[in-house]
DNA sequence: AATATATGGTTACCTTTACTAACCATAAAA
DNA sequence: TTTTATGGTTAGTAAAGGTAACCATATATT
């Protein structure tokens, strides 16, 4: 099998184990991976618009609208006014912050388990390459 | 951002660009990535049972049942008897073989474009690591 | 100033992909 | 012979996301 075929096969065959396991961990907090990804983003970067979030995650706007709606229902995020009347900034609620702290522990544990035996340098290297592939695809 | 967080963020944010672009390329041949993955597998390994395919792709059996059903409708694969009365071996039809040859050209082009600027060694290294993560997750 | 275009966001509708639970038929083990 | 395991299917449901069309507001153009 050629390297480029190997690459995409392994990329794909990690996907379900990753998603299913992550969602198992997150179920405790009534979250799914797509929702948690939004929370994680606004934790580390502060309040963000829907477009920011969509761009960051590489999905379309309606997808983010829906994900954020679920987080609003859970009372984990709230909307604050943006720099004009169109924009909505999404930020964590107090409840969202509390939950996040628990989730971060859970998820860190999950991620470290998943990455057992893989050095930080390797993790960074793979991140760099996956990002490059993403950029190649978007050109 | 910590290396393990980076790792999973980039893993995820490559997913939609990859899937969408691949499906665009495959649309020409009336295929989707999940279907092509099955064809690809039986091209390189010969006829396989549904369980083999499910294990290889890391998805559940019903998922493969349906994917194979679509390939049967397209007349790209056919069923031959397995080693007992339960097993079904899936193999390419003549039409499937013809189509595959065209698709392989298309997809190779797509994959090489996606991996532009990434050496074979790097591709192999990333494959190895993604496989390891998958195995860690399955433990 | 008036019109046209761009941007942020939503709604409606549809699709891909996959899961679980329950089941059938056959095979292997007790 | 009965029990358990294996290969596969069906039915029902869900996560996640896409496109097209649209509203409201903002920016650019004439």
**Residue A88's pLDDT band (cuts 50, 70, 90):** very high
Provide the CA B63 to C1' C21 distance, Å, integer: 14
Q: Which two tokens stand for residue A100?
A: 């996040």
Backbone angles phi, psi at B83, to 5 degrees: -80, -10
- Among B137, B138, B139, the residue to mutate for chain A (most A Cβ within 10 A): B137
Q: Is any atom of strand C within 7 angstroms of residue B93's beta carbon? A: no
Provide the CA B13 to C1' D21 distance, Å, integer: 27
Summarised one tens digit per residue, pLDDT across range A33-73 is 999 999 999 999 999 999 999 999 999 999 999 999 999 99
Query: Residue range A9-18: average pLDDT?
Result: 95
Residue in A37, A131, A137 nearest the CB of B18: A137
**Cα within 13 Å of Cα(A139), Cβ side:** 11
Distance CA A96, CA A75 (A): 7
Q: According to the model, what pLDDT value does residue B136 have?
A: 95
Q: How many residues does chain A have?
A: 139
Beta bridge partners of B77: B92
Neighbouring C-beta atoms of residue B102, cutoff 10 Å: 11
Show which of residues 33-72 on chain A sit within 8 Å of chain B, judged by CB atoms: 33, 37, 40, 44, 56-59
Beta bridge partners of A88: A81
Q: Estimate the crossing angle of helix B33-45 against helix B15-27, to 10 degrees.
A: 80
Q: Do A4 and B127 touch (CB under 8 A)?
A: no
Q: According to the model, what pLDDT value does residue A118 have?
A: 98
Q: How many residues does chain B have?
A: 139
Summarised one tens digit per residue, pLDDT across range A90-119 is 999 999 999 999 999 999 999 999 999 999
B139 has a pLDDT exceeding 90: no
Q: Which two tokens stand for residue A43?
A: 């934790």
Strand D bases near protein CB (under 7 Å) are: 6-12, 15-20, 24-27
Backbone angles phi, psi at A90, to 5 degrees: -105, 125
Summarised one tens digit per residue, pLDDT across range B35-91 is 999 999 999 999 999 999 999 999 999 999 999 999 999 999 999 999 999 999 999
Q: Which residues, in sequence order, are CB contacts of B86 under 8 Å at separation 6+?
A: none
Q: According to the model, what pLDDT value does residue A8 have?
A: 96
Provide the CA A96 to C1' C7 distance, Å, integer: 29
Judge contact between B88 and B50, C-beta under 8 A: yes
Distance CA B99, CA B77 (A): 11
Summarised one tens digit per residue, pLDDT across range A114-124 is 999 999 999 99
Of B1 and B126, the one with more pLDDT: B126
Neighbouring C-beta atoms of residue B109, cutoff 10 Å: 11
Residue in the block written with tokens 């597998």: B41
Judge contact between B17 and A134, C-beta under 8 A: yes
B126 has a pLDDT exceeding 90: yes
Query: Residue range A76-88: average pLDDT?
Result: 96
Q: How far is CA B62 from CA A38, A78, B30, B66, B125, in A?
A: 31, 39, 21, 6, 32
Q: Is any atom of strand C within 7 angstroms of residue B60's beta carbon? A: yes
B17 has a pLDDT exceeding 90: yes
Residue in the block written with tokens 């390297």: A3
- Among B2, B41, B108, B115, the residue to mutate for chain A (most A Cβ within 10 A): B115
Domains and CATH numbers, chain B: 3-138 (1.10.10.10)
Q: According to the model, what pLDDT value does residue A69 have?
A: 97
Residue in A13, A37, A116 nearest the CB of B12: A37
**Which residue from A102, A120, A90, A123 is spatially nearest to A29, judged by alpha carbons?**
A102
Q: In the 59-118 stretch of chain A, whose C-beta falls under 7 Å of nucleic acid strand D?
A: 59-60, 62-63, 66-67, 84-86
Pairing of strands B77-81, B48-49: unpaired
Q: Do B124 and A6 touch (CB under 8 A)?
A: yes
| Alpha carbon distance, N-terminus to C-terminus of chain B | 27
Q: Which two tokens stand for residue B73?
A: 């409708």
A139 has a pLDDT exceeding 90: no
Q: According to the model, what pLDDT value does residue A45 have?
A: 95
Q: In the 15-44 stretch of chain B, whose C-beta falls under 7 Å of nucleic acid strand D?
A: 15-16, 20
């Amino acid at each position: 099998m050629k390297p480029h075929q190997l690459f995409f096969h392994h990329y794909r065959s990690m996907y379900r184990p990753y998603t299913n396991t992550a969602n198992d961990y997150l179920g405790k907090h009534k979250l799914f991976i797509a929702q948690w990804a939004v929370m994680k983003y606004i934790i580390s970067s502060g309040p963000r618009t829907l477009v920011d979030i969509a761009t960051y995650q590489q999905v379309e706007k309606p997808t983010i609208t829906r994900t954020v709606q679920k987080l609003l229902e859970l009372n984990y995020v709230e909307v604050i006014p943006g720099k004009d009347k169109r924009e909505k900034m999404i930020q964590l609620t107090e409840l969202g912050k509390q939950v996040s702290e628990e989730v971060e522990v859970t998820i860190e544990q999950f991620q470290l388990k998943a990455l057992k035996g893989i050095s930080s340098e390797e993790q960074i290297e793979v991140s760099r390459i996956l990002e490059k592939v993403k950029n190649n695809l978007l050109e």
